[in-house]
A and B are shown apart, each in its own frame.
Chain A
Amino acid sequence: MNSFERIESTIKGDPLDRRAFIPILSLYGARMTSCSIKKFYSDPEAYTAGQMAVYDEFKPDMLFGPFAFALIGAAFGSELKFSEFEAPNIKRPGVLSFAQWEKMALPDIDTNPYLLYFRESIRLISIACEGKVQIAACLPAPIDIPALVFGMDRWLELVLFESEQAELVLDKVNRFFVQLANCLFDEGAMVTFLPCGYASPAILPRNLVESLLRPKLRQALGQLKGPSILHHAGTIMLDHLDILTGLPSAIGYALLHTEGLSKARQILGPDPILLSGPHGPSLDQLESSQIEQISRSILEDRDREKDRHFILVTLGADVLYHTPPENLHAMRKALADVGWNAS
């Protein structure tokens, strides 16, 4: 069974040779190829070389397009700051007011250099993989994009105190998101990974997620050409998971195992894929034996053992640059040792 078949079977609930394994190793490609961060996040060929090096070393069941949300902000005019060992950050938001936003044209997916970088990276990885492994496009959910454009403060202020303007912002963002995501599907992505930070109970109260964010998310996801996995964005999600279920194109949900995966499965029902595992950005500080133990405890849980729709992933943001490779191999070892017991 190759990775492509393994993921397909997980989606369908068919028998597997082993669980699928999806570490988020976008940045890690720069380490594997000793590529400078600036080149890595601007040159699709350099990015692709990094992903292929990740594939050769770890044989993950999914490779990722660039996990660099700041570049989406930059497409809207936000100013970037590059550091030596991490993905770029937003230094200054591109839009300061709703009036400025209203006048602004959406970035063109055919000419904007940041968006072309995403497109070309996915296209080149797709060619290099020759169908052996699934490719995910990692994009911020539409409800998170305005924070990259306005800054977190201003976006929160709009959502909380100017809900009509927030709705108009989301309508326009949705047009951009659908266009970009569908274009990435055309370039070779099989699925989109969509962190939804603003849907978390740690960010917004339930009433706002239900009344404002869910309808807009539904509208956007309903127009996608391919499936999506909704991601916890590094924070808690379980208490709002019911609000995110039943959305069009959403085939999977990634959330912290510490929140309770059995409860998550109850909320989701039997069919959607449940993804969980060790916290990616913490893997650099743990011993490989600890990582193996965390992975094993998740996989050996009685409910997980029988769950045909479960995938072991790294959670949170990208795995950090300096994480020792043996810490990632520890997850694979746990998978091999635990085996596959579901009948």
Chain B
Amino acid sequence: MENIQSRLLEMIQKADRQGANNLLAAWSEEHGYEKLLKQILIPTLQHIGEEWRTSENFSIAQSYVAAKIVEDALFMTLKNKKDNVNTVSEKGPVVIGNIEDDFHSLGRRMVKTFLEADGWIVYDLGNDVTAEEFVDTAVEIGARVIGASAMMKTTAYNIKKLRKELDRRNLSGHIQLAVGGAVFMVSPNLEKEIGSDGSSSTAIDAPELFDELWEASLQQETVHE
């Protein structure tokens, strides 16, 4: 198992998408497509996330390649999915989107891919999403986490409106607010300033963050009961 994980990692670093797809297809043919996500992909992504968190040589390109390989693997798994076989347990639902005035979708799309691979049901509202749209959707579908993305400082400030909207409707705590985007890497205090409940430095770490925030939302209710 370690061997295939290290080969997959090597292919991600070389941006060898086709090689990775071939490797994963061959493994799935032998061991079953239903085992691919749980036994290979998710542990590999966790390993990569851990390594990149402490590495200075992490690049968006590597994260993007990993996301594309995950997308391909999800597609391959769905295509080969047999009846009554659960590939991954379902989590969520959650809502994600780029905040009002932000149109940089790259990070958000990667987050969506990694969340889905981890079993989350993701409602992706796209770019330029207002605070009201985020909260309306979260209430409508019963989401406990909203993920708001922004690339620039000016648009990151619009996330404050989302915090205010959650406060106004008395939903803060029940609905947790995750934030992400390039600007949070260069402005470490920004996350607190705009009122987020948590952030992750890479898209690969998003499932772990959403697990924590989902749990925090549940805890909040236990406290209030």
Name A's B-contacting residues (CB within 8 A).
81, 83, 85-86, 89-92, 151-153, 156-157, 159-161, 201-205, 208, 234-235, 239, 279, 281-282, 285, 316-317, 320
B61-A205 in contact (CB<8A): yes
> Do A281 and B109 touch across chains, with their CB atoms under 8 A apart?
no
Q: Are the CB atoms of B154 and A83 closer together than 8 Å?
A: yes
* Interchain CA distance A92-B109 in the complex, whole Å: 16
B-side contacts of A235, CB under 8 Å: 182, 185-186
Q: How large is the interface on B (under 10, 10 to 19, 20 to 34, 35 or more residues)?
A: 20 to 34
Task: Assess whether A81 is in contact with B101, with CB atoms less than 8 Å apart.
Answer: yes
**A320: chain B residues within 8 A (beta carbon):** 153-154
At the interface with chain A, which of B52-60, B86-94, B139-147, B160-168? Answer: B52-60
Closest B residue by C-beta to A160: B15
B159 CB, nearest partner CB in chain A, Å? 15
Q: Is the CB of A203 within 8 A of B60?
A: yes
Point out the residues of chain B lying under 8 angstroms from A156, CB to CB. Answer: 60-61, 64, 106
- Cβ of B65 within 8 Å of any chain A Cβ, yes or no, is yes
A239 with B62: CB separation less than 8 A: no
Q: Could you list 15 further interchain pairs (A-B, Cβ under 8 angstroms) beyond the known A156-B61, A205-B61?
A: A81-B103, A83-B101, A85-B154, A89-B102, A89-B103, A91-B103, A151-B105, A156-B106, A160-B17, A161-B15, A202-B60, A281-B152, A282-B153, A317-B153, A320-B153
B193 touches A201 (CB 8 A): no
B128 at interface, CB cutoff 8 A:
yes
How many angstroms between the C-alpha atoms of A90 and B153 in the bound complex? 16
Return B103 CB to nearest CB of chain A, in Å.
5
The answer to whether residues A282 and B154 also contact, given A161-B17, A208-B61 and a CB cut-off of 8 A, is no
Determine whether the beta carbon of A160 is less than 8 Å from that of B104: no
> Please, how many angstroms separate the alpha-carbon atoms of A60 and B9 in the complex?
49
Chain B 92-125, CB-CB to A under 8 Å as 1, else 0, gives: 0000000001111110010000000000000000
B130 within 8 A of A: no
* 0/1 interface trace, chain B 37-78, chain A, CB 8 Å (1 if under): 000000000000000000011111110110010000000000
**Which residues of B sit under 8 angstroms from A85, Cβ to Cβ?**
154
What residues of B have a CB within 8 angstroms of the CB of A152 in the complex? 104-106
Inter-chain contacts of A81 with B (CB < 8 A): 101, 103, 128
Q: Can you offer 28 A-B residue contacts whose CB atoms are under 8 A?
A: A81-B101, A81-B103, A83-B101, A83-B154, A85-B154, A89-B101, A92-B103, A152-B104, A153-B105, A153-B106, A156-B60, A156-B61, A159-B61, A160-B15, A160-B65, A161-B15, A161-B17, A161-B68, A201-B56, A201-B57, A202-B60, A203-B60, A204-B61, A205-B13, A205-B57, A234-B186, A235-B185, A317-B153
- How far is A279 from B153 in the complex, measured between Cα atoms in Å? 12
Known: A86-B154, A90-B103, A160-B64. A239 touches B56 (CB 8 A): yes
- Chain A residues near B103 (CB, 8 Å)? 81, 89-92
Q: Does B222 contact A (CB under 8 A)?
A: no
Which residues from A are CB-within-8-Å of B13? 205
CB distance from B188 to the nearest CB of A (A): 10
CB distance from B196 to the nearest CB of A (A): 16
Complex contacts, B128 vs chain A, CB 8 Å? 81, 91
Residue B187 lies at the interface, judged by CB distance under 8 Å to chain A:
yes
Query: Which of B17, B101, B185 gathers most chain A CB within 10 Å?
Result: B101
User: Do A281 and B153 touch across chains, with their CB atoms under 8 A apart?
Assistant: yes
Cβ contact within 8 Å between B61 and A282: no
Residue of A nearest to B152 (CB): A317
Report yes or no: A202 in contact with B59, Cβ–Cβ below 8 A.
yes
Which of chain A's residues has its CB closest to B100's CB?
A83
Knowing A81-B103, A317-B152 are in contact, say whether A279-B186 is a contact too (CB < 8 A). yes
* Residue of A89, A92, A235 with highest tally of chain B CB at under 10 A: A89
Whole-angstrom distance from the CB of A29 to the nearest CB of chain B? 16
**Residues of B with C-beta under 8 A to A153:** 64, 105-106, 109
Taken together as a complex, chains A and B put the C-alpha atoms of A125 and B17 apart, in Å, by 49
The residue among A83, A86, A202 with the most chain B CB atoms within 10 A of its own CB is A202
The reply to whether the CB of B84 lies closer than 8 angstroms to some CB of chain A is no
Indicate if B189 sits at the interface (CB-CB under 8 A). yes
Q: Identify which of B17, B59, B65, B189 contacts A285 (C-beta below 8 A).
A: B189
Among residues of A, the one whose C-beta sits closest to the C-beta of B65 is A160
Contact in complex: B17, A203 (CB < 8 Å): no
> Chain A residue with minimal CB distance to B18?
A161
The answer for the CA separation of A92 and B57 in the assembled complex, in Å, is 31
B6 to A: closest C-beta gap in Å: 18
| Complex CA–CA separation, A81 to B189 (angstroms) | 27
- Complex Cα spacing A247 to B106, Å: 30
| Chain B residues in 8 Å Cβ range of A91 | 103, 127-128
B186 CB to nearest A CB, Å? 6
Q: How far is the CA of A208 from the CA of B101 in the complex (A)?
A: 31
Considering only CB atoms, which chain B residue lies closest to A153 in the complex? B106
Smallest Cβ distance from B96 to chain A, in angstroms?
15
B15 closest partner in A (C-beta): A160
